[in-house]
Structure 1
Amino acid sequence: MVKISPSILSADFSRLCDEIKFCEKGGADMLHLDVMDGHFVPNITFGPVVIKSIRKCTKLPFDAHLMIERPDKYIKDFVNAGSDIITVHREIKISIKNVLRKIHNYGAEAGIAINPETPFERVKDYMDRVEYILIMSVHPGFSGQSFIEDTLDKIREAREYIDSESLEVKIAVDGGVKQHNAKRIIDAGADILVAASAIFRGNVEDNIRKFKEIA
């Protein structure tokens, strides 16, 4: 079953706990937490303090998507704050192998993310070290961008490789995911749909249910 992972980046932060409850009622499977440092991407969002404060609002799994230059310095903080999955970018300038090992050492599941311009080939060697691959279908940093159609080929490539190697790696797709393109993304091989504005604009519960019906 394809999972729906609302990205709280588009939620109303003045009532974040209520927004998360709406996600639960709608049937969300997990929550996507976009962490940006203003260096790796040109935007700043939130950190472990916010994650810790919302951990008490729900039992849904948290996927902390670290769009930061030095995730190795903060993995312990994000795990202690309540993150179940830590996703880091292949494009960081430090050893990705060491970062993934550190994530597992702290007891979290590991994900590896790739930007639209990064080929799947660059993460093949790490597929046996992660539980998730996050394929970015927009350029990271801001919500509300349009889905990059070429990403579908990358999803298919990842699906084919994971299946051929009998790996237990889930494919998540993040960026421009809407109800009108969800089926094509799923058909390409996605296991998890990450959606922000498509969920938090309008009725959150209804939007999630519509995604679930498509899935």
Structure 2
Amino acid sequence: MSVKIAPSILSADFAELGTGVEAIATADYVHFDVMDGCFVPNISIGIPVLQSIRKRTALPIDVHLMIVQPERYVDQFCDAGADLVTCHVEADTPEKIHLALDKIHAKGKKAGVVLKPNTRAEAVLPFLDKCDIVLVMTVEPGFGGQKFMADMMPKVSAIRRYIDERNLDCELEVDGGVDAVTCKTCIEAGANVLVAGSAVYKAANIPAKIKELRG
């Protein structure tokens, strides 16, 4: 499975966001972090910004909802230009997370679930058959620039086994502290989509850095 890179625009210059999105044209996804100040202790960007950047890139937009009760908003994010929407398993009841995944698929988009660092790998199992992607956080969600948590790799490997045992067409994504060194650890553990923020946007040559992160 080829490795895909999803630069997080949370690390871009928000005064020049359109230019920042265009700068990652050689990547595979645009990673779009939505924080509500409730599920995580930070507030980021939302639907109007998604509508704006949708006009500036042909890349698929990977929307990571770090919000409580994501089912309330998934339709709007799909309509605003998301190609893929992920919801935290911790953000609502299992029934409501299932409903969110169903709503995303009903819009013709890809759907997935996200696990915080303290959430066990088995938490994906009730949702896995509905997932086009599973995202494992390798930092505590809420802020960019945190140190990579290598102790999340057994969780990544376990989820890779679940996906392979079921023969699912499901990508496995990691997010947090991914750089030119830790990317190799993630790939070895079974991840095939790497979210990278500061490693990409602080690089002198962004296309070269994206190529390097692919391993």
Fold agreement, TM-score > 0.5: yes
**Which secondary structure state, in structure 2, belongs to the residue aligned with residue 14 of structure 1?**
helix
1:61-119 C-alpha deviation (Å, 9 max, x unpaired): 00110000021111121111100001000001232111111111122110100000000
Q: With CA pairs under 8 Å and 6+ residues apart, which has the higher RCO, 1 or 2?
A: 1
Moved over 6 A (4+): none
Report what 1:158 is aligned to.
Answer: 159
Report what 2:80 is aligned to.
Answer: 81
Report what 2:49 is aligned to.
Answer: 50
Residue 160 of structure 1 and its aligned partner are, at CA, apart by: 1.1
Residue 202 of structure 1 and its aligned partner are, at CA, apart by: 2.6
Residue 207 of structure 1 and its aligned partner are, at CA, apart by: 1.7
Indicate the RMSD between aligned Cα atoms, in angstroms: 1.0
Report what 1:171 is aligned to.
Answer: 172
Residue 206 of structure 1 and its aligned partner are, at CA, apart by: 2.6
**Which secondary structure state, in structure 2, belongs to the residue aligned with residue 202 of structure 1?**
coil
- Counterpart of 2:39 in structure 1: which amino acid? F
Q: Does 1:39 align with 2:38?
A: yes
CA distance in 1, matches of 2:149, 2:126: 25
Report what 1:192 is aligned to.
Answer: 193
The answer to which of 169-178 and 13-22 deviates more is 13-22
TM-score where L is the length of structure 2: 0.95
Residue 16 of structure 1 and its aligned partner are, at CA, apart by: 1.1
Identity percentage over the alignment? 44
Pairing 1:50-69 to 2, within 5 Å after superposition: 50-69=49-68
Pairing 1:19-38 to 2, within 5 Å after superposition: 19-24=20-25, 27-38=26-37
CA distance in 2, matches of 1:152, 1:202: 25
- Counterpart of 1:158 in structure 2: which amino acid? I
CA distance in 2, matches of 1:93, 1:78: 18
TM-score where L is the length of structure 1: 0.95
Aligned residues: 211
Report what 1:208 is aligned to.
Answer: 210
Q: Does 1:11 align with 2:2?
A: no
**Which secondary structure state, in structure 1, belongs to the residue aligned with residue 162 of structure 2?**
helix
CA distance in 1, matches of 2:45, 2:16: 15
1:139-183 C-alpha deviation (Å, 9 max, x unpaired): 000000111111110111011111111111100000011111111
Q: What are the ranges of 5 or more consecutive residues in structure 2 without an aligned counterpart?
A: none
The answer to which of 55-64 and 196-205 deviates more is 196-205
CA distance in 1, matches of 2:135, 2:74: 18
Report what 2:98 is aligned to.
Answer: 97
CA contact (8 A) 2:145 2:177 kept: yes
Report what 1:149 is aligned to.
Answer: 150
Q: What are the ranges of 5 or more consecutive residues in structure 1 without an aligned counterpart?
A: none
Residue 209 of structure 1 and its aligned partner are, at CA, apart by: 2.3
